[in-house]
Amino acid sequence: MKVLVIIAHPAIEQSTVNKAWMEELKKHDNITVHELYQEYKEEIDVKREQELCEAHDRIVWQFPFYWYSSPSLLKEWQDKVLTYGWAYGANGNALHGKELILAVTTGSGEEKYRAGGLNHYSMSELLKPFQATSNLIGTTFLPSYLFYGTSEATKEEIQKSAKEYAEYILTPLS
């Protein structure tokens, strides 16, 4: 199984978790690491992105949670790359049967993502627009890999999560 990890982190050099994850992923032959903010200072190359997606079985969108969503370049990627006739609509079946996973880090701890907590809603609720997108483009939406409370995490916890994350996204469904 070939896995494409699309990373959208605007300041990866200052990252603790996403960077550690990326470094771990790069050790694996079956994983293609594709860093959007490094690749595109200007226009996204839509054809190149579509070909990359077509060449993989599973796609991962990895990002730090920004304002209850992804950093803006991933949204732009969706707006430009998921075109009518390719990702949805008449004959738009290029991604059908592929799998989609979100890998997300949050500043807030898990206890803040619940009713009555600081953020009021769970991550499963807040990530619904991604799930709805997955439904429309015909990908199977697999459970997200979440890392809460990045600023309190120890080096050991981050390293452990990096290995666990790589193993998770490389494991076939059945």
Binding segment for ligand FMN (CB under 6 A), chosen from 50-58, 76-84, 105-113, 161-169, is 105-113
Among the listed ranges 34-42, 47-55, 106-114, 160-168, the one in contact with ligand FMN (CB under 6 A) is 106-114
Nearer to ligand FMN, 29 or 152 (CB): 152
140 closest CA partner among 170, 172, 94, 100: 100
Kindly state the smallest distance separating residue 8's Cβ from ligand FMN, in Å.
11
Is-contact 57 29, C-beta < 8 A? no
Selected from 32, 50, 62, 106, the binder of ligand FMN by CB under 6 A is: 106
Contact with ligand FMN (CB under 6 A) among 66, 121, 141, 168? 66
CA neighbours closer than 13 Å in the CB half-sphere of residue 23: 11
Is residue 105 a contact residue for ligand FMN (CB under 6 A)?
A: yes
Q: Please answer whether residues 3 and 32 qualify as being in contact, where contact means their C-beta atoms are separated by less than 8 angstroms.
A: yes
Give exposure, 127-163, as e/b (b: 16+ Cβ within 10 Å).
Answer: beebeebbeebbbebbebbbbbbbeebeeeebeebbe
Cα dihedral 144→49→39→29 (10° resolution): 60
Binds ligand FMN by CB under 6 A, chosen from 108, 131, 133, 159: 108
Choices 9-17, 53-61, 86-94, 159-167; region in contact with ligand FMN by CB under 6 A: 9-17
Binds ligand FMN by CB under 6 A, chosen from 43, 67, 97, 156: 67
| Closest alpha carbon to 123 in 156, 139, 93, 146 | 146
CB 17, CB 46: distance < 8 Å: no
Site string for ligand FMN, 112-151 (x = CB under 6 A): --------------------------------------x-
User: Footprint of ligand FMN on this chain (CB under 6 A)?
Assistant: 15-18, 64-68, 105-108, 150
